[in-house]
Every structure is written in structure tokens, then in C-alpha cells.
Amino acid sequence: MKKGYELLIFDWDGTLADSIGRIVEAMNVAAERAGEAQSSDAAVKGIIGLALDEAIHTLYPHLAPAEVASFRQHYADVYVALDQQPSPLFDGVVESLDAFRAEGYRLAVATGKARRGLDRVLKANGWERFFDITRAADETRGKPHPLMLEEILGHCGVEPSRALMVGDSAFDLQMASNAGMHSVAVGYGAMSLQALAEFGPQVCIDHFSQLREWLGGSAIPLPR
């Protein structure tokens, strides 16, 4: 723990799990079923990280609450069908999480997914063994509100200065800042490193294994 962090908190989709393409496809099929125009891939990637209702409202602000609920159900039906085999973790994630555990870090997840969906993918693969606590958007406040992180910090008994949020979206990094925490931006998920660098992460990485290198003392330059 050369940089002094005790607790590493990870976003799920686009940070640990290679699921961005599946989310985009599910959102666009759901739009078709709901009788709405499909959004661009860039627009859908721009809402990944938000709680689902807020994400739908952001893409389709004209929808009434009942229509958002119907759209949400379409999305859930499509995503579960697409995710019969849960999205794989990115290269290097399993090995790195095992190493972090061996090195004494505490690990957590803070995700815009719903609890039901998160539990499904964790239990299907035995991935729950990695984490001290996980928080999902439908059981707390959604990103970028800091409550999700505050609950994780309280559970683990760790001060914000000793915790690190790792994510692929502006909402992740804003949430960390709102909680008084440092963050790491990953550039292989929803947003580019160039866009994420504007939100003040401690470091930007383009492969998950670089996180362990950086925590161990290696220098990784910010994107140009």
C-alpha cells in the first residue's frame, strides 16, 4: 500500500465488466419496443453509471413516469436475455483483484446497476468473494451523489482520504470528488481518458493491470 490507500472501490460496468456494448444494445432495443427513436451509441454511453430511471429520463426527457417505468421493464427484459452468460471481466481484473486481496486492500463495488442485476452476475461467477461490500443504485442515492460511497466508507470504517474510487464515467469521478475521495479514471469503458481527465483523477489508465502498477509506485502519465 505504497500510496496509503486501504480501500479500493470500483464501478462495475465498463470498469470491471466488459458490458458497455451490451448496455447500448439493450437500451436501443428497449427504445424500439417502447416506440421511441434509438439514441446514438455516444448518447447511451454518456448515461452509463446513472441509475436506470435517471438514465432513461436523460435520454428521453419527454417520457412520463409511467412511460419511464415501462421503458425500464423493456430494458431489463432485453438485458437479462442478452446477459444469460454474464459479461466477462476485463483482462487482468481477476488476477489484480486476487493480488489486491493478498496485499491487504479492502475492496468494494459502487454501481449504477440494480441490486438484482449485480447479485445475479456476482453469484453466477463466484465474484462476490472479492468484495467486502457492494452498493447498487436502487438501494441508495444514485451517482454522482456521494451517499453510495459514504455508506461503503462507513461499513469499512475507512476515512475518505484512505479510499480510492475507480471508474469509467464522469459520474464516478464526480461522486468521488463529492465524497472527498481521490479517483482513478479508466479509458476502456464508457468515456475516453481525455474526457475523464477533466474531472481531476489521480491517474488515468488504459488497462486494468496498470492500477496495481500505479499503486505500487510506478508513474503513469496523464493522457495528452
Whether 139 and 205 share a structural domain: yes
Q: Is 13 a catalytic residue?
A: yes
Q: Percentage of the chain with pLDDT > 70? A: 97
Question: DSSP for 112-149?
Answer: SS-HHHHHHHHHHHTGGGG-SEEEEGGGSPPTTSTHHH
Whether 120 and 11 share a structural domain: yes
Domain containing residue 44: CATH number: 1.10.150.240
Residue 74: pLDDT band (50, 70, 90) is very high
| pLDDT confidence of residue 217 | 79
Mean pLDDT of 13-37: 95
**Residue type at 153 in one-letter notation:** L
pLDDT tens-digit profile of 124-177? Answer: 888 999 999 999 999 999 999 999 999 999 999 999 999 999 999 999 999 999
Whether 177 and 116 share a structural domain: yes
Residue 218: pLDDT band (50, 70, 90) is confident
Mean pLDDT of 105-117: 94
Q: Which residue has the cell 475518505?
A: 160
Catalytic-labelled residue, pool 11, 83, 168, 172 = 11
| pLDDT confidence of residue 222 | 58
Whether 119 and 205 share a structural domain: yes
| pLDDT confidence of residue 1 | 52
In a domain, 224, yes or no: no
Residue 78: pLDDT band (50, 70, 90) is very high
| pLDDT confidence of residue 85 | 83
| pLDDT confidence of residue 2 | 62
Alpha helices in the chain (DSSP H): 20-33, 41-45, 52-59, 65-82, 93-102, 115-125, 147-156, 170-178, 193-196, 209-215
The sign of the torsion formed by the CA atoms of 193, 201, 215, 166 equals negative
Q: pTM for the complete prediction?
A: 0.91
Q: How far apart are CA 133 and CA 115, in angstroms?
A: 12
Domain containing residue 211: CATH number: 3.40.50.1000
